Structure formats: C-alpha cells, structure tokens
Amino acid sequence: MIKSLKKLEKNLGFKLQDNIFCLAIDTATKSGIAMISILKGKIRIKTFILALPPLPKDLEEKSEKYSQHLSDFVNLVDKELIPNISISNNSILILENSFLKINVVTFGFLRCLQGILYAKLCDKFNEIKIIFPTTARKLVGFQSHLPKGSKGKDKKKEIMRWISNVVEEKIIDDNIADALLLAFAGLKKE
C-alpha cells in the first residue's frame, strides 16, 4: 500500500490533511474499515472487514433477526474494532451515511449500525463526519464511465479499480474500497 503522502495526493489530485488519524467505516453487515495515519508526509493505511455472522435459520421473526444482528455488531465493535484504534491528538471518524433506496427495513437496520458506531466511538475523536456515498465520490473526483442504468456490481468494480490505482495496490473487496474512498473524502483539505 502507498506510503508517501505526496504520492497519494498526486494520485488523488488534491491535498489531504497531515498529522491526523482517520477511521472510516463503510457501514453494512460486512463493514469495510480503513484506518489511516498521516504523520509528517508519511502515510500508513490499514484495512479490514467487520462481518456479522450468519443468523441462525430458526429465527423466524425479522425483528428477532435484527435484534440478534445488532447485538452481534456491538460485540464486534467492542472486540475487533476498538482495540485496533490508535487515537492521536488530531483524529477524525468518518461514517457512511445510508440512504433510502427501496427497502425501508434495510435502511433502518443500517441506521441502527451507524448509531452503534457513533455511540461507541464519538468520544474518541476530535471530529466526526457522516458522508453519503455519492457525496464522497464527488469530493474525491470519482467519475463513473459506465452507461446510465448499469448494474451496481459494475459500479463497485469500477470504484475498486479506481481506488486500487490511487493506493497502488489491488483492492479486491468493495467494502474496503468504499471505506478508503470515504476516508479520502473526509481527509480532503478544504
């Protein structure tokens, strides 16, 4: 993964904040996590996934399933995310803002996950940004070259290729690509 802030800025086409720690989370049942430390022109990027386990088949009621998932997510945040965070004096938390597309139940569930992350992490960061995916793409200058009406999978692949070029390493998970894109949007100098 890229190590030089100057090179990363060249690849992005804009300046990033320096001397900062950033945690960006693409919130979903399989959440992409990007932790970026920038210090004196050097950058360290660590990425990983927080994936909720499959729910038992015997849970019939949707509300029961969501309740179990939310409980599992709290445990994942406590056990796998919080211990990996190395907060500095200057830090920013960037969460993906979900939007209502078609399924109101999924929208509500994603908002619950976002709320859990906010509640667990808000006191650890100097600044918090909640950014819509489309806004993040605009902020970093990502331009899709796909025709209108293309499948979501094709757009995800296009974003993964774009992020791979920016960080100079092949990114094979769309959740990681989304988390990195969120991080770069949130770290962009205004």
In angstroms, what CA-CA distances link 120 with 37, 104, 108, 125?
A: 20, 24, 18, 11
Distance CA 62, CA 178 (A): 28
pLDDT at 63: 66
DSSP 56: P
* Max CA separation in the chain (angstroms): 53
SS3 category, 133:
helix
For residue 93, the surrounding DSSP H or E stretch is: strand 91-96
Helix, strand counts (H, E) of the chain? 6, 5
20-48 pLDDT, tens digit each: 999 999 988 888 999 999 998 899 999 99
The domains of the chain are located at 5-187
Instruction: Let me know if domain 5-187 sits in CATH 3.40.50.150.
Output: no
Written as one string, the DSSP assignment of 169-182 is: S----HHHHHHHHH
At 178 the pLDDT is 95
Report the distance separating Cα 175 and Cα 150, nearest Å.
19
What is the predicted pLDDT for the residue at 169?
96
Per-residue model confidence as pLDDT tens digits over 83-142: 877 776 789 999 999 876 667 877 888 888 899 999 999 988 999 999 999 999 999 999
